[in-house]
Amino acid sequence: MILLYKLSGKENLKYYISDLYKKIIDENFMSDFDVIIPVPTDPGRKSTCKPVYEISILLSKYYGKKLSSKNLIKIRSTEKQSSLNYNKRIKNLNNAFMIKDPEVLAGKKILLIDDVYTTGTTVKKCSLLLKKYSRSIYVVTLARSSNIFLDQ
């Protein structure tokens, strides 16, 4: 469903997908967060559909929480993670992310949103960076890739 939304841009799917995120969040976090941050998109990839960002907007409105979509940024283009093994994924994302305004995150509980968890490299890199400035990080992904046993 996530791939269908990403590749086809079928707008109505974002509402159904955001409802699935809400169910996960409600069952696990009880809205105990201050700000929602979507994993940033790659600056070199042009796409009309940015599902993580678009769903984060819906979640922000639903929970009445601040959306911080321009603070955690991807500062360089990288290879697509899906084509890499575990070790290459880590190297690929080294120094790829940056926090623009750390003061905004001070003492905040952050809900980091991503779509697919394969090895966890992307959310780990983002979380480690965010953790330097915030109080705590919760990570929510909707799907787990079947490619979790990549060359490690």
Average pLDDT over residues 26-30: 85
Tens-place pLDDT, residues 51-103: 899 999 999 999 999 999 999 999 998 888 877 888 888 888 899 999 999 99
Average pLDDT over residues 6-27: 87
- 151 occurs within a structural domain: no
- 150 occurs within a structural domain: no
- 149 occurs within a structural domain: no
CA atoms of 122 and 11, how far apart (whole Å): 25
- 31 occurs within a structural domain: yes
The predicted structure's pLDDT at residue 146: 62
CATH number at residue 24: 3.40.50.2020
Q: Tell me which residue range forms the domain holding 100.
A: 2-144
- 152 occurs within a structural domain: no
SS3 for 121? helix
- 19 occurs within a structural domain: yes
Q: Lowest-pLDDT range, 2-11, 17-26, 47-56, 113-122?
A: 2-11
The half-sphere exposure of 133 on its side-chain side, counting CA atoms within 13 A, is 16
Domain count, the chain: 1
CA distances from 12 to 1, 51, 92, 136, 145 (A): 11, 12, 33, 32, 23
pTM reported for the whole predicted model: 0.89
